[in-house]
């Protein structure tokens, strides 16, 4: 089995090939997670890029022959009047009933499975509900599966039916491909499946769409075919009052006019209990046209309209497919929704675990940690495969870093006093923590890969193995999806563990008592008016708490008996997959927050390195100035050598103070070693009265130096720095000490390892998220001053970048990059050669 990293990189390259136009060809046996993601999450479009790739069926004659033979087994038994479960019998606990009408039986199967709740309902515009109070959650999203889930399920079910074990016609498989390619997606209830006998209820809505049931509602993700002829259906086209002609928003109590493609108006869904032919035209004028909102994954056109199934099929030039014997059950009786959603979740989870290794490496750099924690010797002394792999990845990521400590220095005991001898747990033990997650996610990936390439029907049809054979019908339980449930339960736990590690690393970087000299809260300005990442620390604690809850859930043990006690044990696989998607989304929030924080920490670390280097020069210059030591460089160096350790130590300890009192404190603590140095060097001739002047001058110059550096890193003019507090008299801008040039968007790049630098520069340069704190330094945080800009000008100022967005909005930009796949491509590029 290949490593998780190799599989991850291959997945990204494979996905990109499909998004570049390589067709996805279904064979029934090698459907990949990349293929599912490409079809499920991307909309078919001749113009948009990337678009869902072309979908094809295998051209194998052998596969086609086996498929036809499977169908012949069913057809011959029906013709012979033989009793077959689901063809002549009732279903589940009602399998003791008999009928010789398999088509009516199939219709009854769909009827009783169309029992999920979709809100808004088809009659939600009735007068009785027009004045309803505001809902507590989004009505559509809280009851309806996002289209990406359903497209994944349709693809998985098509692949399963192609295998020739379900006894369905080839035409059905072709029709499934047709509707997927045209972007026709039924609305499917979010809840209602117990994933025993498969995801029966969920899949029934796909079947209802295929036969054109007008009670089934459908999204069209791709523009319908333009129509040049009047719509001719058994359902009349709605008419709207002239007063509604210009309206386009969804408002309670008023009909929303149709959005049109090629002049065709959508038909609003009708009540499942109302025959289409009996619906009067005026009813449509009063009914509910439901606009589509955002999806959990990639969102198609938010103005897309919901149609009835026959209307959607008509608009896309798709004929409904009357189902034959056994085909109703053939569509319903499978784990496609559970497996399809699980496949999408696993793909996202691999992003998170690999990103967790990158965040660890970046955090080690930001805190001046030791690369040696990931030395191959350590993991081979305890050779768990996941630990070896994750340690190797982090070790490789830190190669050539100027921040991470490559070699542990051996020092005398007295030189080491009071120093934390080793890195903190969250960094030092990260391979031992991430390693089990690498192993689990790799196993889970394989479980789901097997599931999406399986036949999960009952009964199964075994075609004859030789000409003239009869074939067999197998009554068994491949629909039981506990393999998926267990995989999702374990994945949720893994995501919780990864999120916990991210949270601890994040909060230790923010804490000045643990971050090795970085400012408290990683503030870019003075701590009295800049609380930096404190709010993100609190938000991350919220994410960690939620992940703890989700990780502790065991959905698989929560099943209850159902359906006349026939489904006495059931997997709840779809429920587990849904909760695992929630855990994935929360972990993505955590990862994005961590990435924002670590980039801030890296810039703060780079600034601090410069501060240390330049402060030594400031001390030397002040010694020359105050003690008239011009030209005595060796003497100045000897004094500075005694003074600087105390200056550095004071700089480390005072990161939580405002600049002026902080530098006064630093300068004061330099006096004792200064006097000691002057005594040791027998410089009694010097004017020791200059010591007080030295302290004052040094404090002022260090304060100005720090302000200059902050301006250079944050892109602020020294003249724009807030010099006074509200109600006080502002002081003039200080005279620059070094005339420091702006450091640009990526000041830490020169110190980072080549591989970690790729991710850091993606955030800073490509996503445009700069070091935080410029507005605090200028005193221009909204609300600090009287904000009198009119609303429109203020909006333009925000959009133009002259007014800062919120911290949360910056993190949201990173979240979007994680969810839409851009981050994955960056990680794959940075990992190139790690597996070599």
Residues annotated as part of the active site: 85
Output the 3-class SS for 31-98: CCHHHHHHHHHCCCCCCCCCCCCCEEECCCHHHHHHHHHHHHHHHHHHHCCCCCCCCCECCHHHCCCE
d(CA 353, CA 441): 9
Rounded Cα distance, 205 and 81, in Å: 29
61: Cα within 13 Å, side-chain hemisphere: 0
Cα 65 to Cα 750: distance, rounded to the nearest angstrom: 63
How far is residue 458's CA from residue 165's CA, in Å, rounded to a whole number? 10
- Residue 167 phi, psi (nearest 5): 70, 25
- What is the separation of C-alpha 595 from the centre of its chain, rounded to a whole number of angstroms? 13
Q: Is 544:499 a contact under the CB 8 Å cutoff?
A: yes
Cα–Cα distance, 692 to 671 (Å, whole number): 9
CB 153 within 8 A of CB 340: yes
Q: Is 212 left (phi over 0), alpha (psi -120 to 50) or beta?
A: left
Q: How far apart are the first and last CA of the chain?
A: 16
Helix (H) or strand (E) holding 25: strand 24-26
Helices (H), 628-689: 633-653, 659-669, 671-680
| DSSP code of residue 762 | I
Spatial separation of the C-alpha atoms in residues 630 and 621, rounded to whole Å = 9
Nearest-angstrom CA–CA distance, 176 and 263: 27
Q: Verify cis geometry, omega within 30 degrees of 0, for the bond prior to 351.
A: no
Which tokens in the block code for residue 724?
Answer: 């006074």
Beta-bridge partner residues of 307: 218
Q: Phi/psi at 735 (nearest 5 deg)?
A: -75, 125
Q: What is the three-class DSSP state of 185?
A: strand
CB 687 within 8 A of CB 656: no
- State which H helix or E strand residue 184 sits in: strand 184-186
HSE-CB at 510 with a 13 A cutoff on CA atoms is 23
Nearest to 42 by CA among 59, 58, 18: 18
Burial 455-472 (b: 16+ CB within 10 A, else e): bbbbbbbbbeeeeeeebe
Helix H or strand E segment including 308 = strand 306-308
Paired tokens of 585: 């989304």
Three-class SS of 218-283: EEECCCCCCCCCCCCCCCCCCCCCHHHCCCCCCCCCCCCCCCCECCECCCCCCCCCCCHHHCCHHH
Q: Is the dihedral of CA 137, 138, 143, 145 positive or negative?
A: negative
| Whole-number Å distance between alpha carbons of 108 and 101 | 11
């Amino acid at each position: 089995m290949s490593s998780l990293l190799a599989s991850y990189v291959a997945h990204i390259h494979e996905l990109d090939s499909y998004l570049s136009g390589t067709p996805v060809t279904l064979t029934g046996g090698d459907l990949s997670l990349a293929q599912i993601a490409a079809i499920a999450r991307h909309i078919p479009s001749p113009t948009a890029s990337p678009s869902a790739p072309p979908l094809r069926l295998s051209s194998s004659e052998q596969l086609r022959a086996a498929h036809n033979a499977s169908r012949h087994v069913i057809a011959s038994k029906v013709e012979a009047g033989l009793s077959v479960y689901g063809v002549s019998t009732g279903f589940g606990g009602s399998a003791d009933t008999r009928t010789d009408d398999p088509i009516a039986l199939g219709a009854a199967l769909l009827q009783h499975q169309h029992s999920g709740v979709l809100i808004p309902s088809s009659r939600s515009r009735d007068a009785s509900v027009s004045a309803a109070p505001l809902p507590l959650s989004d009505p559509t999203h809280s009851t309806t599966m996002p289209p990406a889930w359903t497209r994944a399920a349709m693809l998985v079910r098509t692949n399963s039916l192609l295998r020739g074990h379900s006894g369905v016609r080839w035409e059905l498989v072709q029709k499934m491909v047709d509707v997927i390619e045209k972007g026709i997606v039924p609305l499917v209830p979010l809840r209602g499946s117990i994933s025993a006998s498969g995801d029966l209820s969920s899949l029934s809505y796909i079947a209802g769409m295929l036969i054109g049931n007008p009670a089934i509602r459908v999204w069209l993700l791709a523009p319908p075919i333009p129509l040049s002829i009047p719509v001719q259906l058994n359902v009349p086209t709605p008419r709207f009052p002239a007063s509604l002609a210009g309206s386009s928003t969804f408002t309670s109590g008023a009909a929303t006019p149709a959005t049109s493609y090629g002049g065709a108006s959508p038909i609003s869904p009708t009540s499942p209990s109302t025959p289409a032919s009996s619906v009067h035209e005026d009813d449509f004028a009063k009914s509910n046209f439901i606009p589509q909102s955002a999806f959990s994954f990639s969102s198609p056109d938010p103005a897309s309209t919901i149609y009835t199934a026959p209307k959607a099929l008509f608009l896309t030039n798709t004929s409904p497919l009357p189902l034959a014997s056994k085909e109703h059950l053939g569509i319903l009786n499978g784990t496609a929704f559970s497996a399809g959603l699980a496949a999408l979740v696993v793909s996202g989870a691999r992003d998170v675990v690999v990103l967790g290794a990158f965040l660890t490496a970046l955090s080690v750099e930001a805190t001046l940690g030791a690369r040696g924690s990931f030395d191959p010797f350590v993991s081979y002394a305890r050779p768990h495969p996941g630990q070896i792999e994750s340690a190797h990845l982090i070790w490789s990521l830190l190669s050539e870093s100027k921040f991470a400590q490559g070699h542990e220095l051996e020092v005398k005991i007295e030189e080491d006093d009071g120093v934390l001898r080793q890195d903190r747990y969250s960094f030092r033990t990260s391979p031992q923590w991430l390693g089990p997650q690498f192993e689990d996610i790799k196993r889970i990936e394989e479980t789901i890969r097997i599931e999406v390439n399986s036949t999960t029907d009952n009964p199964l049809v075994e075609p004859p193995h030789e000409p003239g054979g009869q074939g067999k019908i197998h009554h068994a339980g491949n629909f039981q999806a506990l393999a998926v449930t267990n995989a999702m339960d374990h994945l949720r736990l893994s995501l919780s563990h990864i999120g916990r590690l991210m949270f601890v690393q994040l909060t230790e970087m923010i804490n000045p008592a643990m971050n090795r000299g970085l400012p408290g809260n990683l503030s870019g300005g003075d701590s009295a008016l800049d609380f930096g990442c404190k709010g993100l620390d609190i938000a991350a604690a919220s994410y960690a708490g939620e992940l703890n809850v989700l990780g502790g859930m065991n959905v698989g043990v929560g099943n209850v008996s159902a359906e006349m006690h026939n489904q006495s044990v059931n997997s709840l696989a779809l429920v587990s997959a849904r909760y695992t998607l929630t855990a994935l989304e929360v972990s993505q929030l955590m990862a994005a927050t961590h990435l924002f924080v670590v980039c801030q920490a890296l810039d703060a670390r780079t600034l601090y390195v410069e501060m240390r280097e330049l402060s030594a020069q400031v001390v030397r210059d002040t010694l020359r100035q105050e003690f008239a030591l011009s030209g005595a460089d060796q003497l100045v160096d000897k004094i500075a050598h005694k003074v600087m350790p105390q200056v550095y130590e004071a700089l480390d300890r005072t990161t939580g103070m405002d600049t002026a009192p902080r530098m006064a404190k630093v300068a004061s603590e330099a006096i004792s070693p200064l006097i000691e140095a002057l005594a040791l060097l027998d410089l009694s001739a010097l004017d020791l009265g200059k010591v007080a002047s030295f302290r004052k001058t040094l404090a002022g110059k260090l304060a100005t130096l720090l302000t200059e550096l902050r301006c250079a890193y944050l892109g602020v003019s020294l003249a724009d720095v807030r010099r006074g507090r509200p109600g006080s008299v502002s002081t003039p801008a200080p005279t620059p000490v070094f005339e420091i040039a702006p450091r640009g968007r990526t000041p830490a790049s020169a110190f980072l390892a080549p591989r970690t630098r790729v991710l850091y520069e993606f955030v800073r340069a490509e996503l445009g998220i700069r070091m935080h704190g410029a507005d605090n330094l200028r005193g221009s945080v909204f609300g600090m001053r009287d904000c009198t800009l009119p609303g429109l000008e203020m909006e333009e100022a925000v959009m133009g970048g002259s007014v800062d967005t919120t911290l949360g909005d910056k993190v949201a930009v990173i979240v979007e990059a994680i969810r839409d796949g851009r981050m994955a491509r960056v990680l794959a590029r940075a990992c190139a050669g790690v597996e070599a």
